[in-house]
Amino acid sequence: MHFDLAHAAVTIVALIVTNLALKSAGVINEENKHQLNWKVFLAYFVVVFIINLVWPI
C-alpha cells in the first residue's frame, strides 16, 4: 500500500479551508454544528474528489 503524506496534507488543508468557507457563508452555525448536513457532506466530497482527480495516488 502506498501512502503519500503530501497528498494527505493537501487534503487536510483543503478540508480546513472548505470548513472555514462554509462557516463564513453561514452553512455551518452553532445550532447545527454537530448534526449531519448534506450541504457540508457534498462540499467535502467535491473538494476531495477534485483533489483526487488532479493528484491521484
Domain that holds residue 46: 5-54
* Alpha carbon distance 38, 14 (integer Å): 18
- The pLDDT of residue 53 is 94
pLDDT tens for residues 16-57? 999 999 999 988 887 777 788 899 999 999 999 999 999 876
pTM above the 0.75 mark? yes
Q: How many structural domains comprise the chain?
A: 1
Which residues, 6 or more positions from 51, have their beta carbon under 8 angstroms from its beta carbon? 7, 10, 11, 14
